[in-house]
Structure 1
Amino acid sequence: MSRYVKTFHAVEIADGGDGRWAGHAGPTPVSARDWLTEEGRTDRGAARARDLFETHMPELVPALDRLAGQLAFPRAGTLLTLAAVRPFFSGCTQIGRGGALLRNYDFAPEHCAGTIVSSRFLRPVIGVQEAWWGLLDGMNDAGLAVSLTFGGRFVQGPGFAVPIVLRYLLETCRTVDEAVDRLRTVPVAIPQNVTLVDPHRTVTVHVGPDIPLIEAPDSCAANHQHLPVPDEQERSTRTQARLAAVREAGVDVAAMLRPPLYQGAYDQWLGTVYTAHYRPAEGRVTYHWPGEAWEHPVVGLVPGSRTVALGLPDGTDER
């Protein structure tokens, strides 16, 4: 198993208006343009993305405009809608049970921002930032926690990259039931699994451009949905094996930090970058790595940095 060293940052950005967000927003103008679809680089595509955002996430329009005004390159506002960006795919395993949300985020370490953000756009939210102001996972002050995994099917349609959808759910919803109802109406561009937890309910749902929202049999998810997984895909991702393992383990941080749930295929973009353990009733989250842990409250984050080793020691059986 390859080992990497990565630095994670915890930052407080408030409503994004004082410049702190812009310092951690992500890519340069050149790479930002690379994120946009061909249509998104046109006036028509930009207008369509804006209309989609205003239709489905009207509460966040002031925040979008406030943030876009801090990015000095063309199409910044279009980019931040996340309704005209190229798809990206990750691994991940997650479980909601007993009022807690536990997940492994699997990706290429050098392409993960590694920024834990505490914000107050519409309400206090903490989570791991991705795609400028979207979230890979997070929690709000009402006690709702959410997390995503790629759904494993390579189809695409009109809609949003799911990190902005998670941001929207946490900004506007207090409970799992509210969030699921809202998620039914928001178009998502590629298949995704979303696990939602509050102190009283947990659920995983499958969403995508070609299916209605489907509730999974339980509140666990890896990288497939309701359809059979081809043998080749299982060999490369072990998605069914990981799902079976997390179901058996339950909410167990130690199990997440060892194979098969902890993955080491970093060169294939399938290595575990962090483990997140959200406890909505406590209003706290702990991020874990082998031998390291970093806890934060949903309100009152203390900014800082933590450099950690990714991967397991040589000789560890990845299976």
Structure 2
Amino acid sequence: MPQQHKTFRAIEVGDGGDGRWAAHAQELWPVAEGWLSEEGRTAAGAARARRLFETHLPELAPVLDRLAGELDRPGGETYLTHAALRPFFSGCTQTGAPGALLRNYDFAPAQCEGTIVSSCFLRPVIGMQEEGWGLLDGMNDAGLAVSLTFGGRYVHGPGFSVLIVLRYLLETCDTVGEALAALRSIPVGIPQNITLVDAERAVTVYTGPDIPLTEAPDACAANHQSLPVPEEQERFTRTQERLATVRAAVRANSAVPAKGVDAAVMLEPPLYQFAYDKGLGTVYTADYRPTEGRVVYHWPGAAWEQSFGAFAPGERTVALG
């Protein structure tokens, strides 16, 4: 298929109250508001979303109020709760080791925001932003990093978009242990696999509206939570093939596990995917080294490093596929 290009941006937004975050969010609002569910557009739905947010993510409630005031759009507060969004389903492969988190994000490029954000809502966080202030992956100044993959089961229930859950974990937790404790009481609307790493530990967990928080056999994840994977699903997503491939890379690196898997592995098939027309093409590879406070985003023939010590706002147009 023809090569695609996508522009990624890096922005600093501080605590969200000085207009920088709002300028970016307002620019995206015509598209963003389309993700608000029908229930979320009602008074009852908006009230339910607010109650759920205050119950499960209370530390972020003042930030929610600040950002909603800055966004200043009808339905903006409810949208930013991430408790009344339409579900979305993506691809992705990821693996973690102590001090290292490596992931491919697979989605439709035109529907991916592509914004690397450095923020200090409650503490310094750098991550790939989506849906206002949610995160597809990211790290904080304590050396914790997290990322997500879709869990592969098309069920939906009450709860949050996992994007705001990752934001919450990075804003309020220092370690994998603290993040796991928080996750046990946060409802997530669709099945998701979350990989978490700090200096000492790397874990993948399965979460969803119909299962308890479950620890995976290792810190690797693709797009399933249980076996067998239906044959049609495997043909479409290659989830088992990708998981086996990334696990093989981990085993090959077992002599120096703290280093983590080399990012070059993620830029080759089957981990690097080309099904952009089906919403399953690789949009970026992220290599987080949270104990060093840095991340490198990779594309074929290009890379962009960001860190807490030297965050560089700007734009990069890169080739995909």
Contact 1:245 1:261 (8 Å CA) reproduced: yes
Contact 1:91 1:106 (8 Å CA) reproduced: yes
C-alpha separation in 2, matches of 1:292 and 1:266: 19
Structure 2 counterpart SS, 1:277: strand
**Which one has a larger percent helix, Structure 1 or Structure 2?**
2
| Match of residue 265 from structure 1 | 275
Instruction: Assess, with a 3 A threshold, how the Cα gap between structure 1 residues 266 and 8 changes in structure 2: closer, same or farther.
Output: same
2:319 to 293, 301, 309: 309
**2:177 pairs with 1:167:** no
Q: CA deviation at 1:181?
A: 0.7
C-alpha separation in 2, matches of 1:308 and 1:29: 24
For normalisation by structure 1, the TM-score amounts to: 0.95
C-alpha separation in 1, matches of 2:266 and 2:228: 25
Q: Quick one: which amino acid aligns to residue 115 of structure 2?
A: T
C-alpha separation in 1, matches of 2:280 and 2:58: 35
| Match of residue 247 from structure 1 | 247
Which consecutive aligned stretches of 4+ in structure 1 deviate over 4 angstroms post-superposition? 26-30
| Match of residue 220 from structure 2 | 220
For normalisation by structure 2, the TM-score amounts to: 0.94
| Match of residue 37 from structure 1 | 37
Q: Quick one: which amino acid aligns to residue 187 of structure 2?
A: P
1:288 to 298, 302, 310: 298
C-alpha separation in 2, matches of 1:33 and 1:125: 25
| Match of residue 115 from structure 1 | 115
Residue ranges of structure 1 left out of the alignment (5+ in a row): 312-319
| Match of residue 156 from structure 1 | 156
Q: CA deviation at 1:3?
A: 1.5
How many residues are aligned here? 311
Structure 2 counterpart SS, 1:77: helix
Structure 2 counterpart SS, 1:103: strand
Structure 1 counterpart SS, 2:156: coil
| Match of residue 210 from structure 2 | 210
Alignment of structure 1 residues 1-319 onto 2, 5 Å: 1-25=1-25, 29-250=29-250, 251-311=261-321
Could you give the per-residue CA deviations for residues 3-56 of structure 1, whole angstroms, max 9, x where no partner exists?
Answer: 211111111000011111122226655544421212111111100000000001
C-alpha separation in 2, matches of 1:284 and 1:110: 26
Could you give the per-residue CA deviations for residues 65-94 of structure 1, whole angstroms, max 9, x where no partner exists?
Answer: 111112232111000000011000110000
C-alpha separation in 2, matches of 1:247 and 1:52: 37
Q: Quick one: which amino acid aligns to residue 218 of structure 1?
A: D
Contact 2:99 2:143 (8 Å CA) reproduced: no
Structure 2 counterpart SS, 1:21: helix
Q: Quick one: which amino acid aligns to residue 61 of structure 2?
A: V
Residue ranges of structure 2 left out of the alignment (5+ in a row): 251-260
Q: CA deviation at 1:108?
A: 0.6
Could you give the per-residue CA deviations for residues 237-296 of structure 1, whole angstroms, max 9, x where no partner exists?
Answer: 000000000111131211100100000000100000000000112111000001111111
Q: Which moved more, 1:219-228 or 1:136-145?
A: 219-228
Contact 2:8 2:114 (8 Å CA) reproduced: yes
C-alpha separation in 1, matches of 2:58 and 2:71: 21
Identity of aligned residues (%): 72
Instruction: Assess, with a 3 A threshold, how the Cα gap between structure 1 residues 33 and 280 changes in structure 2: closer, same or farther.
Output: closer
Instruction: Assess, with a 3 A threshold, how the Cα gap between structure 1 residues 246 and 45 changes in structure 2: closer, same or farther.
Output: same
| Match of residue 317 from structure 1 | none
Contact 1:196 1:202 (8 Å CA) reproduced: yes
| Match of residue 254 from structure 2 | none
Contact 2:187 2:209 (8 Å CA) reproduced: yes
Structure 1 counterpart SS, 2:319: strand
Contact 2:204 2:221 (8 Å CA) reproduced: yes
Q: Quick one: which amino acid aligns to residue 35 of structure 2?
A: W
Q: CA deviation at 1:142?
A: 0.1
Instruction: Assess, with a 3 A threshold, how the Cα gap between structure 1 residues 32 and 306 changes in structure 2: closer, same or farther.
Output: closer
C-alpha separation in 1, matches of 2:181 and 2:143: 17
Structure 2 counterpart SS, 1:84: coil
How well do the aligned residues superpose, as a CA RMSD in angstroms?
Answer: 1.2
